[in-house]
C-alpha cells in the first residue's frame, strides 16, 4: 500500500511540473510586450511576398539529333544537325498562391527535321523513298513553342527543370542525299533541294525536356535535353497509292546550352533563401 501511495504522489508531482512548464511556455510565446497595443497592431502593414514570381529571358544554342519513325518499318540511324539556336521567355509564378514550382515558357528556335535510312539487316538492301530516291534527308525548320515549365530549386545556386508543351513550325529548306547505286538516280538529281508536291511543309507536335540550371546572381546558365514528337508526316501518306497508308513522323532529340537573365528580382523558395529573406525583412524593420 505504501508503494502505491508513493507512485501516485510521484505521478501527481510530474503532472504539476508539466503543467507549470506549459504555462511558462504559453507566457513566453504568446504574451506581448506592454508597448504592443491594439492601436499599434492596427497600423502595422504586413508586406506580402510570393516566392518565385519573376521573369527570365535568354538565348541558347546546340545541336539536333533526328531519327523518325516510319510505316513500313525502316532501319534508321541518328542524324546530327547544327547549329540549333533560339530564344525564350520564362515566367515563374505561384500557382493558386500555394505551389511555387510552376511557370510557363514560350519562344522561337531554328531547328531541324529529317531521317537517314540504313541497311535492312534481314534483306541486306538499302531502302530509299519512292519518287525521290532519297535515303537521307534534312530540313531546316523555324519553330515556335509554348511549354509548361516546372522547376525545383536546390539551394541558392542550382535548380532542376522539367518542360512539356506544344510546338509548331514550317519546313523551310530541304536537302536530299541519293544513293549512288539507285537505278533512277539521274531522274531525281534535280529535286535534291526542292520540295515535292506530296511533301508536307507544316509541322507540329509535342515538345518536352529535362534540364539543370546554375544561378549566379541575376544570370542563369541552363543545360537542357529536348525531345520532339512530331504529329505531322513528312509526306502525304497515300501519295504512292490511295490503298496503302505510308507515313514518316519526326522523332528528335536536342541538346542545348543557354544563358538567361532575370528581368525581375528572384525570390526563391528553398529553406535557406526564405531564412535570408526573413532576416532581411527584420533588419529593414529595425532600421526604421
* Predicted pLDDT of residue 190: 85
3-state secondary structure 231-262: CCCCECCCCCCCCCCCEEECEEEEEEEEEEEE
* Predicted pLDDT of residue 184: 73
Rounded Cα gap, residues 111 and 88, in angstroms: 14
* Predicted pLDDT of residue 73: 84
Pair type for strands 69-71 and 202-216: unpaired
| Backbone torsions φ then ψ of 244, nearest 5 degrees | -135, 125
Task: Spell out the alpha helix ranges (H) of the chain.
Answer: 2-30, 38-43, 185-188, 271-286
* Predicted pLDDT of residue 153: 86
* Predicted pLDDT of residue 27: 45
* Predicted pLDDT of residue 239: 86
* Predicted pLDDT of residue 79: 95
* Predicted pLDDT of residue 26: 46
Grid cell at residue 274: 526564405
Rounded Cα gap, residues 26 and 218, in angstroms: 43
Q: Are 192 and 175 in contact (CB under 8 A)?
A: yes
The structure's pTM equals: 0.75
3-state secondary structure of 69: strand
- In CATH, what is the architecture of 54-262? Beta Barrel (2.40)
* Predicted pLDDT of residue 124: 74
* Neighbouring residues of 69: CB distance < 8 A, sequence distance ≥ 6: 248, 249, 251
Q: What residues does 168 pair with on adjacent strands?
A: 144, 204
One digit per residue, the tens of pLDDT, for the chain of length 288 reads 555 455 545 555 555 454 544 444 444 444 556 665 666 656 656 555 666 789 999 999 999 999 999 988 888 999 999 999 999 999 998 777 677 788 999 999 999 999 999 987 777 777 888 888 889 999 999 999 999 999 988 878 899 999 999 999 999 999 999 887 776 787 788 889 999 999 999 999 999 999 999 999 899 999 999 999 999 999 999 888 888 888 999 999 999 999 999 998 877 655 566 667 667 766 776 776
Amino acid at each position: 500500500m505504501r508503494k502505491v501511495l508513493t507512485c501516485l504522489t510521484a505521478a501527481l508531482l510530474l503532472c504539476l511540473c508539466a503543467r507549470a512548464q506549459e504555462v511558462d511556455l504559453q507566457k513566453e510565446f504568446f504574451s506581448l510586450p506592454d508597448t504592443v497595443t491594439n492601436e499599434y497592431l492596427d497600423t502595422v502593414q504586413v508586406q506580402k511576398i510570393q516566392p518565385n514570381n519573376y521573369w527570365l529571358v535568354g538565348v541558347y544554342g546546340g545541336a539536333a539529333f533526328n531519327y523518325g519513325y516510319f510505316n513500313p518499318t525502316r532501319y534508321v540511324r541518328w542524324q546530327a544537325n547544327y547549329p540549333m539556336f533560339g530564344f525564350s521567355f520564362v515566367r515563374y509564378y505561384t500557382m493558386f498562391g500555394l505551389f511555387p514550382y510552376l511557370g510557363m515558357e514560350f519562344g522561337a528556335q531554328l531547328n531541324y527535321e529529317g531521317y537517314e535510312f540504313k541497311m535492312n539487316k534481314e534483306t541486306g538492301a538499302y531502302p530509299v523513298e519512292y519518287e525521290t530516291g532519297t535515303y537521307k534527308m534534312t530540313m531546316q525548320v523555324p519553330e515556335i513553342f509554348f511549354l509548361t515549365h516546372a522547376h525545383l530549386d536546390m539551394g541558392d545556386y542550382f535548380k532542376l527543370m522539367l518542360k512539356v508543351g506544344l510546338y509548331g513550325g514550317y519546313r523551310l529548306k530541304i536537302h536530299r542525299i541519293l544513293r549512288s547505286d539507285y537505278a533512277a538516280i539521274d531522274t531525281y538529281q534535280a529535286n535534291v533541294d526542292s520540295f515535292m508536291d506530296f511533301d508536307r511543309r507544316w509541322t507540329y507536335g509535342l515538345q518536352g525536356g529535362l534540364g539543370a540550371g546554375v544561378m549566379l546572381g541575376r544570370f542563369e546558365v541552363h543545360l537542357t535535353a529536348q525531345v520532339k514528337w512530331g504529329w505531322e508526316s513528312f509526306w502525304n501518306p497515300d501519295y504512292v497509292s490511295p490503298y496503302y497508308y505510308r507515313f514518316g513522323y519526326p522523332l528528335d532529340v536536342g541538346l542545348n546550352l543557354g544563358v538567361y537573365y532575370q528581368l525581375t528580382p528572384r525570390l526563391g523558395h528553398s529553406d535557406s533563401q526564405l531564412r535570408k529573406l526573413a532576416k532581411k525583412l527584420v533588419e529593414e524593420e529595425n532600421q526604421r
